[in-house]
Amino acid sequence: MNYKLKITRLSVLLLCLLLGFNLEGGAQNATSILDKAASAYENSNGLKAYFTMQTRSDVQKVSESFDGTIDIKGDKFVLKTPDMITWFDGTTQWSYVERNEEVNVSTPTGEELQATNPALLLRSYKKGFSATLKGESTAPNGKAAYDIELTPKKKSDIIRVELQIEKFSGLPASIAVFAKNGLSNTIRIGKMETGVNQPDSFFVFNEKDYPDAEIVDLR
């Protein structure tokens, strides 16, 4: 898979999950729950999440899954998966691909920026979906949760998004995105820590830690 596509897909899904969706429209109960999720993120003072992501293709009848972590503070994040680490300091993005010891440096703009900047992402999705409270269930972490379904207001490659929001904390526990091409992506949060206020330097790639890496500047 193209590394940029993979980063974008992960960034969109994880940041949607961690931000919640402060959406307009849909049932008032669903909107209130999502407002609480967005507020919980804003008041988290930085957080770290441990997740499992599963991708399924109904057409090809295949699936893959992997574990990862994400540290996020404001519009900054560090995303770690088995084959890649991505740093974003709010302006510059560094993506380290372990198998070929290469670091791709970029300054996201346009759609790329929407995929990596939580503030722009939130505004981008705010008016794009209708929210419906479907019921209640038990989240993968064993906690009681609300089930919310998001449907696009306009023509989209996405059919629907299914969210689980923890009742007590107001933080999302899982998200599943279903596309018209038969592809579905599901992220389940196993553990989330709030109050993880990392220094700004944590979100910047440090060349000294990867002395053998080739730097590819795409800016």
Domain of residue 195: give its range.
3-210
Q: What pLDDT score was predicted for residue 178?
A: 86
Q: Taking Cα atoms as reference points, which of 9, 44, 20 lies closest to residue 126? A: 20
pLDDT band at 2 (very low <50, low <70, confident <90, very high): very low
Determine whether 118 is exposed, middle or buried from the number of CB atoms within 10 Å of its CB (0-12, 13-18, 19+): buried
The two structure tokens encoding residue 132 = 């419906």
Q: What pLDDT score was predicted for residue 37?
A: 63
CATH number of the domain that residue 144 is part of: 2.50.20.10
Q: Return the percentage of the chain with pLDDT > 70, whole number.
A: 73
**Which residues are bridge partners to 21 per DSSP?**
none
Q: What pLDDT score was predicted for residue 210?
A: 93
- Count of domains for the chain: 1
CA distance 211 to 105: 16
Domain membership flag for residue 100: yes
Query: Looking at the predicted structure, is the pLDDT value of residue 187 above 90?
Result: no
Query: Looking at the predicted structure, is the pLDDT value of residue 105 above 70?
Result: yes
Backbone angles phi, psi at 69, to 5 degrees: -135, 155
Write down the pTM of the prediction. 0.72
Kind plus residue range of the DSSP H or E element containing 200: none
CB neighbourhood size of 151 (10 A): 16
Domain membership flag for residue 216: no
Q: What is the mean pLDDT of residues 13-41?
A: 56
The two structure tokens encoding residue 155 = 């023509």
Each residue's pLDDT tens digit, 42-81: 666 788 888 888 888 888 888 888 898 988 887 788 889 8
111-119 long-range contacts (CB < 8 A, ≥24 apart) are: 112/4, 112/8, 115/7, 115/8, 115/11, 115/12, 115/15, 116/11, 116/15, 116/77, 116/88, 117/75, 117/90, 118/15, 118/18, 118/19, 118/72, 118/74, 118/75, 118/77, 119/75
Domain membership flag for residue 218: no
Q: What pLDDT score was predicted for residue 199?
A: 94
Domain membership flag for residue 157: yes
Q: How far apart are the first and last CA of the chain?
A: 22
